[in-house]
Amino acid sequence: MDDKTIQILEETFREFSGGGQESAALFYERLFALDPSLRRLFTHVEMRTQHTKLMAALGLVIASLRDLSKVVPVLEGLAVRHVRYGVEESHYQTVCAALIQTLAISFGDRFTPPVRAAWVLAYGIVSGVMIAATRQAGAGMQAAE
């Protein structure tokens, strides 16, 4: 990822995270609109806490863009936990769509093609690491059976 892309992500995340709970709430609103069945994954979750976790996770990724190796183990652990919660590989596409819609709503006309491309690239890297960890964990569980 080049410096210009990282700069776009850092600047837009700073602004987006300034919305705090509202920004996160908008993300989950979009997520559940895209796939209402995902609500079942959050039935026993206090959503304000979940909003905080989402923003913290995004912040960690953004802060690690210049050295992604620092965040890979965290993402892998998160992916394995998500499997236990019922997250499936197909959900990653829905999350991407919800994130992009949320950012588009939040930034309006300022959600330019370069901003969109930067977020799609970053999400693709994150989801790629998480999906690979999920597959590896699944293969390990099958081998143990």
What CATH number should be reported for the domain holding residue 55? Answer: 1.10.490.10
Q: What is the pLDDT of the chain when averaged over all its residues?
A: 92
Q: What confidence score (pLDDT) does residue 136 get?
A: 85
**138 band by pLDDT with thresholds 50, 70 and 90:** low
Token readout for 23 is 């920004």
Task: Judge whether residue 145 has pLDDT over 50.
Answer: no
Q: Within 10 Å of residue 46's Cβ, how many Cβ atoms?
A: 9
To which residue do tokens 């410096």 refer? 3
To which residue do tokens 């919660």 refer? 85
Task: Judge whether residue 113 has pLDDT over 50.
Answer: yes
For residue range 85-95, what is the model confidence (pLDDT) as tens digits?
889 999 999 99
Q: Within 10 Å of residue 37's Cβ, how many Cβ atoms?
A: 9
**50 band by pLDDT with thresholds 50, 70 and 90:** very high
Structural domain span for residue 61: 3-144
- Number of domains making up the chain: 1
Token readout for 40 is 């079942």
Average pLDDT on 21-44 reads 96
